[in-house]
């Protein structure tokens, strides 16, 4: 059965990919290697996982404003997530998604940490509205 997660449009675009869920906030500056897309923050819930091409789902961002530019560097290196779903988008992640042209949504109508699963295929469409279509 097909389900739809609806949220606030942050950055326009469409993308598909496998879900990678982090229960922890993400800091791109120092937390993600911009050359490889691997989460390097010690003790992080997705430490050692690569975010490249994934629909990255996490509560919110954290850390330095330079994190926005790390997202841009990830995009230039072909190691960025295909889309971002946050519970609460904050300025660092929002700016990074917009300048990197990574589709992003926040304020979802259901908790994505509970309804989505790691490895699940999701299509994110952020045009006039924002939705993530998945199967259960």
Listed in order, strand segments (DSSP E) in 1-136 are 2-11, 13-21, 55-58, 83-86, 104-106, 121-126, 130-135
- Residue 88 contacts by C-beta under 8 Å, 6 or more apart in sequence? 59, 60, 106, 107
Among residues 11, 22, 45, 64, the one annotated as catalytic is: 64
111 Cα distance to chain centroid: 14
For 95, half-sphere exposure in the C-beta direction (CA atoms, 13 angstrom radius) is 12
- 100 in catalytic set: no
Catalytic residues: 64
């Amino acid at each position: 059965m097909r389900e739809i997660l609806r949220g606030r449009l942050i950055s326009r675009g469409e993308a598909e990919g496998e879900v990678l869920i982090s229960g922890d906030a993400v800091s791109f500056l120092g937390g993600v290697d911009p050359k490889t897309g691997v989460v390097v923050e010690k003790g992080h819930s997705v430490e050692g996982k690569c975010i490249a091409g994934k629909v990255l789902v996490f509560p919110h961002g954290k850390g330095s404003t330079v994190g926005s530019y790390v997202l841009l560097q990830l995009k230039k290196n072909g190691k960025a997530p295909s889309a971002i779903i946050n519970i609460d988008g904050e300025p660092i992640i929002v700016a990074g998604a917009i300048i990197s042209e990574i589709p992003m949504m926040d304020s979802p109508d259901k908790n994505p940490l509970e309804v989505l699963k790691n490895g699940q295929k999701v299509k994110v469409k952020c045009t006039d509205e924002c939705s993530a279509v998945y199967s259960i």
